[in-house]
Chains A and B, each alone.
Chain A
Amino acid sequence: GESVGLHLPTLSVQEGDNSIINCAYSNSASDYFIWYKQESGKGPQFIIDIRSNMDKRQGQRVTVLLNKTVKHLSLQIAATQPGDSAVYFCAENGGGNQFYFGTGTSLTVIP
Chain B
Amino acid sequence: EADIYQTPRYLVIGTGKKITLECSQTMGHDKMYWYQQDPGMELHLIHYSYGVNSTEKGDLSSESTVSRIRTEHFPLTLESARPSHTSQYLCASSENERQETQYFGPGTRLLVL
Which A positions have Cβ atoms within 8 angstroms of B? 1, 4, 31-32, 34, 36, 41-46, 49, 51, 89, 93, 95, 97-99, 101-104
Q: Is the CB of A95 within 8 A of B98?
A: yes
Contact of A32 among B2, B42, B99, B103 (CB under 8 A): B99
Q: Is B48 an interface residue (CB 8 A)?
A: yes
Please tell me if the beta carbons of B43 and A101 are within 8 angstroms of each other in the complex.
yes
Chain B 31-67 interface residues, beta-carbon cutoff 8 Å to A: 31, 40-43, 45, 48, 50, 58-59
Interface of B is mostly: loop
Q: Which of the listed residues A31, A41, A43, A49 has the most CB atoms from chain B within 10 Å of its own CB? A: A43
The total of interchain contacts (Cβ-Cβ below 8 angstroms) comes to 51
CA distance A89 to B45 in the complex (A): 15
Q: Chain A at the B interface: mostly helix, strand, loop or mixed?
A: loop
A42: chain B residues within 8 A (beta carbon):
106-107
Task: Answer whether A97 and B101 are a contact pair too, CB < 8 Å, given A42-B106, A102-B42, A104-B42.
Answer: no
A89 to B92, CA, bound (A): 15
Apart from A4-B42, A43-B105, A104-B42: 9 A-B pairs, beta carbons within 8 A: A32-B99, A34-B101, A42-B106, A43-B90, A43-B104, A46-B2, A95-B99, A97-B50, A102-B42
Q: How far is the CA of A78 from the CA of B40 in the complex (A)?
A: 25
